[in-house]
Amino acid sequence: MGSHEVLRRVFGYDSFRGAQSEIVEHVIAGGDALVLMPTGGGKSLCYQIPALVRDGVGVVISPLIALMQDQVDAMRDLGVRAGFLNSTQYPDERSLVEAEFLAGELDLLYLAPERLRVEQTARLLERGRIALFAIDEAHCVAQWGHDFRPDYLALSHLHERWPDVPRIALTATATKATHAEIAERLGLGSAKHFVASFDRPNIQYRIVPKNEPRKQLLELLRNEHQGDAGIVYCLSRNSVEKTAEFLNQNGVRALPYHAGLDSGTRARNQAQFLREEGLVMVATIAFGMGIDKPDVRFVAHLDLPKSVEGYYQETGRAGRDGLPSTAWLAYGLQDVVQQRKMIDDSDGDQQHRRRQIAHLEAMLALCETVECRRVQLLNYFGQDGEPCGNCDTCLNPPETWDGTVPAQKVLSTVYRLRSERRQKFGAGQTIDILLGRKTAKVIQFDHDALSVFGIGTELNESGWRGVVRQLLAQGLLAVEGEFSTLALTPASEEVLYRGRRVLLRREAERAAKVRAAKPKKGEPVDLPAEAAPVFERLRAWRATQAKEQGVPAYVIFHDATLRQIAATGPSTLAELGGVTGVGENKLAKYGQQILDTLAS
Ligand code: ADP
Ligand code: ZN
């Protein structure tokens, strides 16, 4: 079979997307490839189809042990002969897969990278016939990324041992630095590089000032994502627990996930999130790599991500199915102070620290931009874009205002506090002084006698916090040391003494609601009203199937496929086979049941 026929008959798709076709042909011809494509872009087909077309078994190296069973189930449901080898298996299961491999009864073999280090596994692979090596989540080889896996370093030897087997490395991480590091460490310098656009047009990006983050989150969920599945990211384990509890108390079904939970609980919560509909996962960044649940409708951040890469990866888990989704981040002064402090306190050399600061600054620039968020994101990854009309700054352009005078007030207060012998004060004291508040701490240090005391009544507390945050983000102010003391920078002096103007982003009292035209839950764009009940019947049928087989619902059919079936109402197996996502195997397995459901 040629690649196009495999696409149609096995996967039930009419045409390749973007560079898929070019990549597939390149690998079928035996070429090495490095593929950079966003989440949801369709990376899996790029190795699955060559594995089916070429002789032998496609060996897929993936760090996602907990997801291998689902991946294999999904392949088997398509009629593809797949198996996996990892450390979670019993020896007899492993022997069975090894026997299938040797007998040439597999099309795809998923392999955890640590298995390859075991010489026995390498010898096993040498006794079979290998179609290709696919190195999934290839950014795990990058040493400075937060997904680094030492076992990935050993993958550079694949080429020496199997010089004739093509290798295809894939990742959704887009930065030039990571791209170069992958190419170098995996020895893919002479491979063909395929770099897709990193735009995710169906994701609406929104970044709001943080006031009461949990309440703000609840409002978002109630107004726009009632009953939707989503992920909420928090920085600490403690705030993960608290937030999950808060959501449950307020009628939103939520589960926690962080590295402090035992592995059994983590696996259970992850499986539940994948299998049930409408669950919210509250997690640290320990959660999410490789989660291929297609209908995650929102990703919310309650704390500032450490880098734009991290933000892009995490938000990218929303909307793999291409339907409208929200990426929402609440961020405030405390985030900036806290992250600076974490960097200052971190071990690691000066160079590492400088790199972390650069990451933080890029993230802050994205938060404070008055331009299109999407354009800023794409530019960060070295790609161009047009103002998108689907981010908060496009939908609700922020005003800027001349904040030179308030900036000078903050900076001179900081200057006066700094000149006091050995006393160290943070943002709170500075703002209390500007507002003329006689707090115990103000009185204790005689700060009500300062000439700046009470000169800042034009703004309220949250207004001043916004000013301080933006000054920090613009590098016009710094935080230092154990007590997060505010400090001047060389650039502050330009504002204080040399007439440099400061432009600030106007903060809405309450974040104005931004909503693009968006279908309501259960009423997707292409579904006529009379088809809605049919869609619900199909979903109910799918839920029963999923339960019986113990697989996530989307392994059987995606929402998009069921929707198309509901909208077109096929009456024969042949017509049903024409629906996108219905391949030959699924038609044989489920076709009659679907027709029966439609007729019922
Ligand atoms: P990635 O691994 O890049 O995040 P996937 O390989 O999981 O993305 O693909 C994302 C979704 O797009 C999946 O639901 C997949 O079935 C679908 N898809 C991929 N390629 C095509 C295609 N050519 N036609 C239709 N659907 C596709
Ligand atoms: Zn935009």
The percent of residues above 90 in pLDDT, for the chain, comes to 72
CB–CB of 51/58 below 8 Å?
A: yes
Would you state the pLDDT for residue 517? 47
Q: Kindly report the protein residue whose alpha carbon is nearest to atom 12 of ligand 1.
A: 42
User: pLDDT digits over 104-124, tens only?
Assistant: 999 999 999 999 888 899 999
CA 316 to ligand 1 centroid distance, Å = 14
270's CB contacts (< 8 A; 6+ apart) are 66, 257, 281, 287, 291
Provide the whole-model pTM.
Answer: 0.86
Would you state the pLDDT for residue 65? 86
What angle is formed at CA 283 by the lines to CA 279 and CA 285, rounded to 5 degrees?
135
Q: Kindly report the protein residue whose alpha carbon is nearest to atom 16 of ligand 1.
A: 42
User: pLDDT digits over 330-380, tens only?
Assistant: 999 999 998 988 888 888 788 888 888 889 989 999 999 988 999 999 999
Candidates 290, 307, 327; CA nearest to 200 is 327
Q: Kindly report the protein residue whose alpha carbon is nearest to atom 20 of ligand 1.
A: 42
Residue 278 Cβ < 6 Å to ligand 1 = no
DSSP track, 376-413: HHHHHTT------SSBHHHHSPPPEEE-HHHHHHHHHH
Would you state the pLDDT for residue 358? 87
User: pLDDT digits over 475-533, tens only?
Assistant: 899 888 777 889 899 999 999 999 999 999 887 654 455 555 444 444 445 678 888 89
Residue 16 Cβ < 6 Å to ligand 1 = yes
Q: Kindly report the protein residue whose alpha carbon is nearest to atom 14 of ligand 1.
A: 321
CA 446 to ligand 2 centroid distance, Å = 48
CA 325 to ligand 2 centroid distance, Å = 14
Residue 320 Cβ < 6 Å to ligand 1 = yes
467's CB contacts (< 8 A; 6+ apart) are 403, 406, 407, 410, 459, 504
Instruction: Find where tokens 């397995």 sit.
Output: 589
Q: Which residues pair with 298 in a beta bridge?
A: 230, 326
Domains and CATH numbers, the chain: 3-195 (3.40.50.300), 203-331+369-395 (3.40.50.300), 400-505 (1.10.10.10), 532-599 (1.10.150.80)
Atom of ligand 1 nearest to the CA of 16: 23
Atom of ligand 1 nearest to the CA of 44: 6
CA 580 to ligand 1 centroid distance, Å = 12
- Rounded-to-integer distance, Cα 49 and Cα 45, Å: 6
CB–CB of 233/283 below 8 Å?
A: yes
Contacts by residues 47-50 (CB-CB < 8 Å, ≥ 24 positions apart): 47/132, 47/134, 47/136, 47/168, 47/170, 48/75, 48/80, 48/108, 49/3, 49/6, 49/7, 49/24, 50/3, 50/24, 50/131, 50/132, 50/166, 50/168
CB–CB of 132/167 below 8 Å?
A: yes
CA 510 to ligand 2 centroid distance, Å = 20
Q: Give the DSSP H or E segment for 597.
A: helix 584-599
Determine the residue of 8, 45, 317 to mutate for testing ligand 1's pocket, defined as the one with the most ligand atoms within 8 A of the Cβ atom: 45
Q: Kindly report the protein residue whose alpha carbon is nearest to atom 9 of ligand 1.
A: 42
What angle is formed at CA 277 by the lines to CA 271 and CA 281, rounded to 5 degrees?
55
Residue 42 Cβ < 6 Å to ligand 1 = yes
Determine the residue of 6, 11, 37, 556 to mutate for testing ligand 1's pocket, defined as the one with the most ligand atoms within 8 A of the Cβ atom: 11
* Mean per-residue pLDDT, 197-212: 94
With 80 as the cut, is the pLDDT of residue 139 above it?
yes
Would you state the pLDDT for residue 515? 54
* Mean per-residue pLDDT, 29-40: 95
CA 59 to ligand 1 centroid distance, Å = 19
DSSP H stretches of helix in 103-203: 113-117, 119-127, 158-161, 176-185
Mean pLDDT of all residues in the chain?
91
CB–CB of 331/360 below 8 Å?
A: no
Candidates 258, 199, 250; CA nearest to 222 is 250
Residue 198 Cβ < 6 Å to ligand 1 = no
With 90 as the cut, is the pLDDT of residue 410 above it?
yes
* Mean per-residue pLDDT, 530-542: 92
Would you state the pLDDT for residue 413? 94
Residue 383 Cβ < 6 Å to ligand 1 = no
CA 391 to ligand 2 centroid distance, Å = 4
Atom of ligand 1 nearest to the CA of 37: 3
Residue 305 Cβ < 6 Å to ligand 1 = no
- Rounded-to-integer distance, Cα 75 and Cα 72, Å: 5
- Rounded-to-integer distance, Cα 278 and Cα 297, Å: 9
With 90 as the cut, is the pLDDT of residue 589 above it?
yes
Instruction: Find where tokens 């990426």 sit.
Output: 327
Would you state the pLDDT for residue 509? 52
- Rounded-to-integer distance, Cα 166 and Cα 158, Å: 10
Atom of ligand 1 nearest to the CA of 554: 14
With 80 as the cut, is the pLDDT of residue 176 above it?
yes
